[in-house]
Amino acid sequence: MSVFHYDKDADGIVTVTMDMTGPVNAMNDEYREAMGETVARLEAEEGLAGVVIASAKKVFFAGGDLNELLAVTPADVERFKGGIDTVKDQLRRLERLPVPVVAAINGAALGGGFELCLACNHRIAWDDKGVQLGLPEVTLGLLPGGGGVVRLTKLLGLEKALPYLLEGTRIAPGKALDEGMIHDLVREKDELVPAAKAWILANRDKPDTAMQPWDRKGFRIPGGDANSPKVAQLIPVATAMLRQKTRGLLPAPEKILDVAVQSTRLDLETALVVESRGLTYLVTTPQAKNMISTFFFGLNKVNGGASRPDGVPKTSTRKVGVLGAGMMGQGIAYVSAMAGIEVVLKDVSREAAEKGKAYAEKLLDKRVERGRMTPEKRSEVLALITPTAEDADLAGCDLIIEAVFENMALKHEITRSSEQYLAEGGVWGSNTSSLPITQLAEASDKPANFIGIHFFSPVDKMPLVEIIMGEQTSDEALAKAFDYTQQIRKTPIVVNDSLGFFTSRTFGTYLDEGVRLLAEGMHPVPIDNLGKAVGMPVGPLQVYDEVSLELTRKAQQTWEEMGVLDKWGDGTVTRGVINTLVEEYGRGGRHHGGGFYEYAEDGSRAIWPKLLELYYNPEVCVPAQDVKDRLLFRQVIESLKCLESGVLRSEEDGNIGSIMGIGAPPWTGGFLQFVKTYGYGRFVARCEELATAYGERFEAPQIARERAAAETPAAA
């Protein structure tokens, strides 16, 4: 019996209900066989009046089988392309049936799922928030290879289609209707198939009902083809903007743009061939392997709770106390209130706490102005935040998060004075970015309930929370922190205790290497430019200004008091530069009047002239590739050391953490995933070259050497 159920009613309408053996309908060998049989049967069906494509799953159709795509090697490309051609041929035959075909979209239809919908003459979707439509392949380093680029371009026109193709935007049914991507909505899921049949009966005798727009005589692409003046002007602009955005590091967007442009010049059949060639090329690239591994499999594993302890019941945080209403505390208060959690925002004075609440009010007002929230909902969220200067107001909190300055003594003092107000079984979380949780927990009466909850700035925008386990932290505390993180709609990674944990100590190597290059005499502008050329969001010197040189200096003083200042190697070069800028010249960073850069009132910036006098040596010439590798490899090496030493509990946490918390280039798939496609043997060899030229900090960790030894000759 086929996994595509075939049912013909008295009106001659066949409903094909997809119900594949896995948890979702996916474009794999089983699909190709079932669709091939179904199309052949429809072509031979007598008295056929129309076809409805429906789904028995919660998700209409999930798209391509990513396990299958991940496994494709250069040796498999001809077989893979044959599979694409089969899919395309089946969809082409479906849309050329002499009767109307309707997609009854009851759930998410993304990627191959939406490509199937585009091959139908009419598309009706259930108007529900769980239904998402779109072609997100670009986010995985791929392009829509089932006709998605070609059909969407011909349906909407190049200008309108490009944002959906190049950004992989997922949209709700209402938006899709407005954009012309679907034709109708139903309010209830059970209305889908009846509405599809009613449309077929009402339109089956109308001319061209069973014909796709691009198959009709005289069809013209909306907005014109590539030779029309408007589109001809658009193409070079889009190319330049795309290059600026991707920096040439992501082949998928460039290939998508090329296929979309060709789709305006070529007939459908020829354009589909060009599209197939594009996907066949992309599927074997390291960028696609990295992005599929991390952004799909890795992220699903992390969000699925792989790092959450088994056997601990799931909990919801009802009341959270936030200690410190500064930049971090006010952000934590906002995201907590947005999740419907009661928040007590405490600072040393009521006035300071009120300023923290005002931050949330400002963000909520923006949501109302943009139509993303009603005034009533704004007031409801704001009412959840109680500003205070009194410890007693923390009574009954099932979670308290301390978010004060990185000072061990101060944090100990706050723990001793406030921990008593936790509810029975409540958890104490420290929003520290670097101080060891085990040492912070020494001030706690219940170290088993003490855990690190490291947010990233700005809290309302950054998607990650790094949860840190102290030596005595219990599974129950971890589960509570994990559940709270997901409750506020953040992605949690879990790491073990260490100075700097994973994200801070890894990100610190990027900053350190940038300053080392400056101290060697390199001009600061190419240092930052080459950092961005690797794919980092911002150059190391510019981001150091944002992080604050002054805060770094104070943190270094704290680490010095702890006796761990140079825990990961000799940091005297960077320490000397930072101390010189802060102590001698008052250059504490952007928010302290300027650091490496000067900042104008209009937001523009320029290198602080004195910096060139202090460090720039025109005779110094560091090869550009060496600079890029130094900035990237320092972070990769530190990530491997974290994995080797057990600070990282899983590679998935390391990859997701480096992407979402540090800003690792998306093309790498994260710093640990990067080494897999780069090759461990090749990585170790390059580390040896860098270590010889620039110092022992580039020596490959033992874990990399062991994995290099285990590689096959082809991989190495």
When computed from its CA atoms, the radius of gyration of the chain, rounded to whole angstroms, is 28
Q: DSSP states of 134-176 as a string?
A: E-GGGGGT---TTTHHHHHHHHH-HHHHHHHHHH---B-HHHH
Do 274 and 196 share a domain, yes or no? yes
| Separation CA 516–CA 626 (nearest Å) | 13
CATH number at residue 337: 3.40.50.720
Residue 403's CB is within 10 A of a number of other CB atoms, namely 26
Do 335 and 279 share a domain, yes or no? no
Residue 716 pLDDT > 60: no
Does some domain include residue 333? yes
| Separation CA 18–CA 91 (nearest Å) | 15
Instruction: Quick: pLDDT tens for 89-118.
Output: 999 999 999 999 999 999 999 999 999 999
Both tokens assigned to 473: 């932290």
Do 26 and 100 share a domain, yes or no? yes
DSSP designation for 309: P
Does some domain include residue 83? yes
Residue 564 pLDDT > 70: no
pLDDT recorded at residue 188: 96
Beta-strand pair 397-402/319-323: parallel
Does some domain include residue 687? no
Of 284, 302, 332, the residue at which a domain comes to its end is 284
458 prior amide bond cis, ω within 30: yes
Residue 563 pLDDT > 70: no
Of 472, 498, 524, the residue at which a domain comes to its end is 498
Domain that holds residue 344: 319-498
Question: Mean pLDDT over residues 187-200, rounded?
Answer: 97
Of 469, 498, 527, the residue at which a domain comes to its end is 498
Which residue is listed with tokens 């947005």?
Answer: 338
Residue 714 pLDDT > 60: no
The dihedral of CA 78, 82, 83, 87: what is its sign? positive
Whether the CB-CB separation of 628 and 636 falls below 8 Å is answered with no
Do 276 and 401 share a domain, yes or no? no
Whether the CB-CB separation of 144 and 271 falls below 8 Å is answered with no
Residue 70 burial (C-beta neighbours within 10 Å; 0-12, 13-18, 19+): middle
Does some domain include residue 693? no
Does some domain include residue 674? no
Q: Assign 566 a pLDDT band (cuts: 50, 70, 90).
A: low
pLDDT recorded at residue 715: 46
pLDDT recorded at residue 618: 95
Do 480 and 566 share a domain, yes or no? no
Instruction: Quick: pLDDT tens for 79-91.
Output: 999 999 999 999 9
Instruction: Quick: pLDDT tens for 303-351.
Output: 999 999 999 999 999 999 999 999 999 999 999 999 999 999 999 999 9
Do 276 and 340 share a domain, yes or no? no
Does some domain include residue 195? yes
Do 439 and 460 share a domain, yes or no? yes
Does some domain include residue 49? yes
Q: Assign 2 a pLDDT band (cuts: 50, 70, 90).
A: confident
Residue 691 pLDDT > 50: yes
* Residue 76: half-sphere exposure toward Cβ, Cα within 13 Å: 13
Residue 126 pLDDT > 60: yes
Whether the CB-CB separation of 397 and 426 falls below 8 Å is answered with yes
Residue 144 pLDDT > 70: yes
Instruction: Quick: pLDDT tens for 510-540.
Output: 999 999 999 999 999 999 999 999 999 999 9
pLDDT recorded at residue 548: 87
CATH number at residue 280: 3.90.226.10
Number of domains in the chain: 3
Do 382 and 422 share a domain, yes or no? yes
Whether the CB-CB separation of 49 and 204 falls below 8 Å is answered with yes
Question: Mean pLDDT over residues 14-20, rounded?
Answer: 97
Do 50 and 185 share a domain, yes or no? yes
The dihedral of CA 423, 426, 430, 435: what is its sign? positive
* Residue 635: half-sphere exposure toward Cβ, Cα within 13 Å: 32
CATH number at residue 549: 1.10.1040.50
Do 226 and 79 share a domain, yes or no? yes
Stated as kind and residue range, the H or E segment containing 53 is: strand 50-55
Residue 234's CB is within 10 A of a number of other CB atoms, namely 19
pLDDT recorded at residue 712: 67
Instruction: Quick: pLDDT tens for 609-620.
Output: 999 999 999 999
Do 151 and 278 share a domain, yes or no? yes
Residue 587 pLDDT > 60: yes
Instruction: Quick: pLDDT tens for 615-639.
Output: 999 999 999 999 999 999 999 999 9
Whether the CB-CB separation of 607 and 516 falls below 8 Å is answered with no
Residue 602's CB is within 10 A of a number of other CB atoms, namely 6
Do 475 and 594 share a domain, yes or no? no
Does some domain include residue 640? no
The 10 Å CB-count burial string (b at 16+, else e) for 15-40 is bbbbebeeebbbbbebbeebbeebbe
